[in-house]
Amino acid sequence: MMGVLVFPDFQLLDAAGPISVFDIAGRFAGVRPSIKLLAETPGPVRSSSGVEMFARGLKAAGAISTLIVAGGQGVDLAARSPKILAFVRAMANRGVRIASVCSGAYILAEAGLLDGRRATTHWRRTRQFLALYPKVKLEPDRIFVRDGNIWSSAGITAGVDLAPAMAAEDFGDEVAQRTARELVLYNRRNGGQSQFSSLLELKAPGGRFGALLTWARENLNAPLTVEALAEQAGMSSRHFARAFIAETGTTPSKAIERLRIEVARQRVQSSSEAIEAVARLTGFRDPERMRRAFIRAFGQPPQSLRRAARAG
């Protein structure tokens, strides 16, 4: 039995996406899905789009085994609700599997469920989240993260990536794969992949590190260590690393890897260069290291991307 927690001005897809996934997965598994929409105040709950969904009160949660917490424009107010926070803590203490979609992570963090745990949220909220919840081990470039019985996911559609992974745990991989096909998902992405929007942000870097990232992009075959980047930026290594995370939402090493991935992808898809040469010219050095980076970012190795580009 699953519960989905919403609040005024929640993001509709944060709730509807996982609900649809578990509905379809349950039918494929031969189990009639039991899904409850929950809210602090029962009755129609207005989403940020204006569309309303009818919710039961928190006491109607009953014996749910999974709780998914939506995000949305109203999350800041919801995260200050004593009743909502007490409810989420009670579910966690009872051993319920809990997941957040997008900014729903704020509710989990405010309830203390993410202290000392790995988690993620929408990349645009990274700076604020880090400032508010320094005890959380935030992984800002992940689609979804699981730490024990607590799951969290990135922006909006990432909930549709998280839900099949949870359904696979409940019903098995075959059901999860059939569900993904039924939803016409191109690929059921794993949580280790990067948030695509973050990758795009680094392709056109702005802010005070824009010039540095442009320089790094033009010198990818150099050993771009934190020390080298800090020297180029005219800062101490420690201050540079902290400032970079606050500005971009990711670490310098992950940012450089993304730049290398993007340039390498372009060369793999648009040229006939040997994979080994692409790895060397983009600073990966080792083709195997580049292959692992591609799988994390795109879910496919370089050779598959090249074949797909040529077939298209």
Catalytic residues: 102
Both tokens of residue 224?
A: 């771009």
Q: b vs e for 137-154, b when ≥16 Cβ sit within 10 Å of the residue's Cβ?
A: ebbbbbbbbbbeebbbbb
Q: Which long-range contacts (CB under 8 A, 24 or more apart) does 297-303 make?
A: 297/193, 297/194, 297/199, 297/258, 297/261, 298/193, 298/261, 298/265, 299/187, 299/189, 299/190, 299/193, 302/264, 302/265, 302/268, 302/275, 302/278, 303/275
From the number of C-beta atoms within 10 Å of its C-beta (0-12, 13-18, 19+), residue 213 rates as buried
The residues facing 44 across adjacent strands are 54
CA distance 41 to 54: 10
Whether 285 contacts 279, CB under 8 Å: yes
Whether 45 contacts 8, CB under 8 Å: yes
CA distance 111 to 37: 20
CA distance 90 to 184: 36
Both tokens of residue 137?
A: 């081990």
Whether 59 contacts 87, CB under 8 Å: no
Q: b vs e for 46-57, b when ≥16 Cβ sit within 10 Å of the residue's Cβ?
A: bbeeeeebebee
